[in-house]
């Protein structure tokens, strides 16, 4: 009964967060400087007559009171009708579904790479606590965590694309070339290397730090000392007792990093001109394309909330001690 009440309370909290996020999503584009009228009409606002401005505003639904616009926006969300892009005239859901697979490719691949490397390095650093490796890797990870995304991405472009010419610097596929099958997959993989590498490297510190501290905590448990006293090999103790238990809180971090990675793609995809949701949001902000801005921001918001919900629901299942 207590667990059910706690679950309902958490769902209520997420519902409140969603309402606040949607409200901000509605308000922020309208608080930005500039007007979308020129984009909709295709001419400068100063060149339009008052009648033309009124007609364009009414056609876009911007002549209604803000309360009416807000309720209309909620209705569009509940009916999955997000309208059309001011710039392209394309349905928002079509734009989002077209760009979403590219963002998922970056985020999921980066999460797997960062998780594997961060867990391995964090566990090894904790096992060798106090050593030069532990101190050096900890200092490096703390410095890496503060590295700007755009700076690292531009550094990789300058090194691997411009100087060495090993990898493409922009896009998801080679423009003007028709490929299929394995050739297309290889081309996609080649274009994804630098964005995934950048996103992975910046995601490793959080996983590393969580795994290191979790492993240090487990190493102090009585059952670990008992296993060592029984004469078990250090490798067996580490793999079968320490790491397995230390992974429990790391799963929560990985779930949360999924939401972070979604948000991080805005910068990464802009730097590498990658055709995902992040680049779509950037283009929409630059063009004052309200419907696209709201649609992409809503997808990012839902992704973060689902990642947090996954983390909340996954940990009690993995560790029965945390169940109410």
Say whether pLDDT at 42 is over 70. Answer: no
Burial 41-74, CB ≥16 within 10 A → b, else e: beeeeeebeeeebeebbeebebeeeeeeebeebe
Residues 146-183 have pLDDT tens digits of 888 889 889 999 999 888 888 888 888 888 777 778 88
Asked if residue 199 belongs to a domain, the reply is: yes
Asked if residue 138 belongs to a domain, the reply is: yes
Q: Residue 281 — pLDDT band, cuts 50, 70, 90?
A: confident
Minimum mean pLDDT among 21-25, 86-90, 109-113, 234-238: which range? 234-238
Average pLDDT for the chain: 79
- State the total domains in the chain: 1
Asked if residue 152 belongs to a domain, the reply is: yes
Asked if residue 262 belongs to a domain, the reply is: yes
Q: Residue 6 — pLDDT band, cuts 50, 70, 90?
A: low
Say whether pLDDT at 213 is over 70. Answer: yes
Say whether pLDDT at 284 is over 60. Answer: yes
Say whether pLDDT at 48 is over 80. Answer: no
Phi/psi-derived region of residue 232, left when phi > 0, alpha when psi is between -120 and 50, beta in every other case: beta
| Pair 122, 211: CB distance under 8 Å | yes
Asked if residue 74 belongs to a domain, the reply is: no
Q: HSE, CB side, 13 Å, CA atoms: give it for residue 72.
A: 13
Minimum mean pLDDT among 88-102, 117-131, 218-232, 255-269: which range? 218-232
Asked if residue 24 belongs to a domain, the reply is: no
CA dist 85 and 293 (Å) reads 9
Which of 28-42, 136-150, 303-317 has the highest average model confidence (pLDDT)?
Answer: 136-150
Minimum mean pLDDT among 118-122, 160-164, 305-309: which range? 305-309
Asked if residue 80 belongs to a domain, the reply is: no
Burial 162-181, CB ≥16 within 10 A → b, else e: eeeeebbbeebbeeeeeeee
Residue 116's domain is classified under what CATH number?
A: 1.10.3720.10
Over pLDDT 70: what percentage of the chain? 78
| Pair 194, 167: CB distance under 8 Å | yes
- The gap between the terminal CA atoms of the chain, to the nearest Å, is 9
Q: How far is CA 64 from CA 27, 59, 68, 290, in A?
A: 14, 10, 6, 15
Q: What is the mean pLDDT of residues 12-24?
A: 83
Asked if residue 155 belongs to a domain, the reply is: yes
The candidate with the shortest Cα–Cα distance to 250, out of 324, 315, 320, 322, is 315
Domain extent, residue 210, equals: 100-287
Q: Of 128 and 321, which is predicted with more confidence?
A: 128
Quick one: DSSP state of residue 162?
I
Q: What is the mean pLDDT of residues 250-268?
A: 77
Say which residues have a Cβ less than 8 Å from residue 279's Cβ, sequence separation at least 6. 99, 266, 269, 270, 273
């Amino acid at each position: 009964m207590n667990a059910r009440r706690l679950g309902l309370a958490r769902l209520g909290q997420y519902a409140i967060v969603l309402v606040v996020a949607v409200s901000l999503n509605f308000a922020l584009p309208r608080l930005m400087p500039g007007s979308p009228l020129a984009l909709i009409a295709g001419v400068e606002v100063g060149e339009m007559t008052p009648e033309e401005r009124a007609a364009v505003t009414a056609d876009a639904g911007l002549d209604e009171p803000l309360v009416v616009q807000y309720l209309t926006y909620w209705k569009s969300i509940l009916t999955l009708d997000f309208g059309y892009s001011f710039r392209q005239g394309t349905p928002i859901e079509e734009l989002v579904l077209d760009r979403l697979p590219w963002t998922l490719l970056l985020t999921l691949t980066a999460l797997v790479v960062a998780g594997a490397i961060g867990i391995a390095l964090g566990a090894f650093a904790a096992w060798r606590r106090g050593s030069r490796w532990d101190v050096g890797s900890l200092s490096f990870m703390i410095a890496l965590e503060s590295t700007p995304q755009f700076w690292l991405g531009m550094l990789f472009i300058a090194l691997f694309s411009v100087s060495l010419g090993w990898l493409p610097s922009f896009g998801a596929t080679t423009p003007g070339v028709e490929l299929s099958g394995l050739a297309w997959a290889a081309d996609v993989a080649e274009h994804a290397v630098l964005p995934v590498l950048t996103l992975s490297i910046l995601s490793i510190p959080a996983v590393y730090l969580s795994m290191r501290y979790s492993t240090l905590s487990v190493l102090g448990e009585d059952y670990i000392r008992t296993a060592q006293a029984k004469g078990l090999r250090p490798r067996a103790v580490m793999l079968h007792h320490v790491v397995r238990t230390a992974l429990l809180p790391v799963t929560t971090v990985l779930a949360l990093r999924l939401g972070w990675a979604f948000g991080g793609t805005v910068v990464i995809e802009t730097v590498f001109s990658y055709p995902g949701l992040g680049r779509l949001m950037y283009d929409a902000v630059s063009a004052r394309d309200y419907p696209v801005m709201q649609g992409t921001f809503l997808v990012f918001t839902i992704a973060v909330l689902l990642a947090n919900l996954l983390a909340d629901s996954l940990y009690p299942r993995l560790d029965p001690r945390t169940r109410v």
